[in-house]
Amino acid sequence: MAGKNLKRIVIYLLLLGIVSAITFYFLSNFSGGIEWGKVINFFVANPWGFLGILSLLFSWITDTFITYILIRKLIRVPFSFLKSFNMSIIGIFFNKLSPASTGGSVFQIAYLKRNGINFGSSVSITELRYIIKQSAMVVAAAMGFLIALQVVERNEITFVLSFLGFGLSIGGILILILINVSSKVRSSLLTITKWAIGLLRFSKKLSPKIPDLRQKAEKEFKNYVQSMKMISTNWKFIIPVFFLALLSALGHLFLAFAAVQSFGIFENIPKGMLEVISLQAIATTIIFFSPTPGSSGLAEGGFYLFFSTIVPPKFLATVTLEWRILSYFVPLALSGIIFLIIFFHGMVSTRK
């Protein structure tokens, strides 16, 4: 299993490298090109680069609190803050490698299972995390929508993409909520799951296990429903968790402003920050659905397109690269290192 995961990571990294190389080529040859000295200075000596790193860490810590509170309130099992941090980091790492930022949830579920939480409850926790975090990002985009429209109204493409991003994000959230609140939908999913398990009859090895697998599926669906009932009876704690998710989202959106303001573009910083965060919130709702690993290509293209209205052309390619390194490559590297530590520590613990 570890070998398959490693192979998958290598494939994603190769695809990421190819798409990133093509993207950097276009950035280097259009709109004034990339000033590599400015990029290095941003991370070494520019105070906005330092503020960007702090904002990234702030986003991670608030995300960890979301995990910690959800597990302690819903599952009520011993689960330390460090384990919550590990779960968040695992999600960040695999989201950075997977299309549409979806791979992290699978590995988060596996991590929860490994730490004594049943599959159904693991799914419900991970799903609820996604709904809350995605809802927070949509609310952030909605709050800044009117401000963003004043900036992008000159560009029909960005105007259309803004509505598309809202539609996709809200649609995904509504589907998950429908699964949670509708017993008929859950029953249909269970029926489909049992039917899919029945297809294993072609395998002599797996065919005898079909009754046990179906029974296990029923059990995990019951665990899932039980977790959902816990949410409905303890819904008030969702409010502070949502505000944490909103803070986490704002911390991540601030990275765009750090990159833009590193060139001193805005004299009125509060107004400029509001405009940048509003634009980036809308752009992020679209970037979420990119089919490429880590949203490579679409993320840079989306940033370039949305911010072409407020960033001077001669700075735009460099600002785009600064933002991408700060929002993607730095988190990928840091979360990757931490994931390897978690992975090898788990291997050592298993052997003991």
pLDDT digits (tens, 9 = 90+) for 26-46: 666 666 678 888 999 999 999
Residues in the chain: 352
| pLDDT above 70 (res 233) | no
pLDDT value for 4: 57
Of 286 and 101, the structure prediction assigns the larger pLDDT to 286
Q: How far apart are CA 283 and CA 257, in angstroms?
A: 13
Tokens coding 50 = 């330092």
| pLDDT above 90 (res 261) | yes
pLDDT value for 278: 86
| pLDDT above 80 (res 232) | no
Q: What is the tens place of the pLDDT at every residue in 164-214?
A: 766 666 666 666 666 666 667 667 766 777 777 777 676 666 677 777 767
| pLDDT above 90 (res 8) | no
pLDDT value for 27: 67
Q: How far apart are CA 95 and CA 137, in angstroms?
A: 16
Average pLDDT over residues 299-327: 85
CB atoms within 10 A of CB 181: 11
User: Angle of helix 81-97 relative to helix 330-351, nearest 10 degrees?
Assistant: 120
Tokens coding 144 = 């800044």
Of 237 and 51, the structure prediction assigns the larger pLDDT to 51
Q: How far apart are CA 89 and CA 338, in angstroms?
A: 7
Instruction: Name the least confident of 1-10, 103-112, 131-140, 176-185.
Output: 1-10
Residues 302, 284 contacting (CB under 8 angstroms): no
Q: How far apart are CA 334 and CA 129, in angstroms?
A: 22
CB atoms within 10 A of CB 167: 11
pLDDT value for 1: 46
For 220, the enclosing helix (H) or strand (E) is helix 210-233
pLDDT value for 57: 94
| pLDDT above 90 (res 55) | yes
| pLDDT above 60 (res 352) | no
Q: How far apart are CA 254 and CA 107, in angstroms?
A: 27
Q: How many CA atoms lie within 13 A of 244 on its CB side?
A: 18
3-state secondary structure 121-188: HHHHHHHHHHHHHHHHHHHHHHHCHHHHHHHHCCCHHHHHHHHHHHHHHHHHHHHHHHHHHCHHHHHH
Instruction: Name the least confident of 143-152, 226-235, 244-253.
Output: 226-235
pLDDT value for 79: 85
pLDDT value for 66: 92
Residues 85, 79 contacting (CB under 8 angstroms): no
Average pLDDT over residues 58-78: 87
Q: What is the tens place of the pLDDT at every residue in 262-280?
A: 998 888 888 889 889 988 8
| pLDDT above 60 (res 3) | no
For 76, the enclosing helix (H) or strand (E) is none
Of 145 and 250, the structure prediction assigns the larger pLDDT to 250
Average pLDDT over residues 72-79: 78
| pLDDT above 50 (res 300) | yes
Q: How many CA atoms lie within 13 A of 245 on its CB side?
A: 23
User: Angle of helix 81-97 relative to helix 47-70, nearest 10 degrees?
Assistant: 120
The contacts of residue 352 (CB under 8 Å, 6+ apart) are none
Tokens coding 279 = 């634009």
Q: How far apart are CA 183 and CA 205, in angstroms?
A: 34
Q: How far apart are CA 346 and CA 74, in angstroms?
A: 25
- pLDDT grade for 281, boundaries at 50, 70 and 90: confident
pLDDT value for 159: 65
Residues 27, 300 contacting (CB under 8 angstroms): yes
Q: How far apart are CA 282 and CA 58, in angstroms?
A: 21
Average pLDDT over residues 91-98: 83
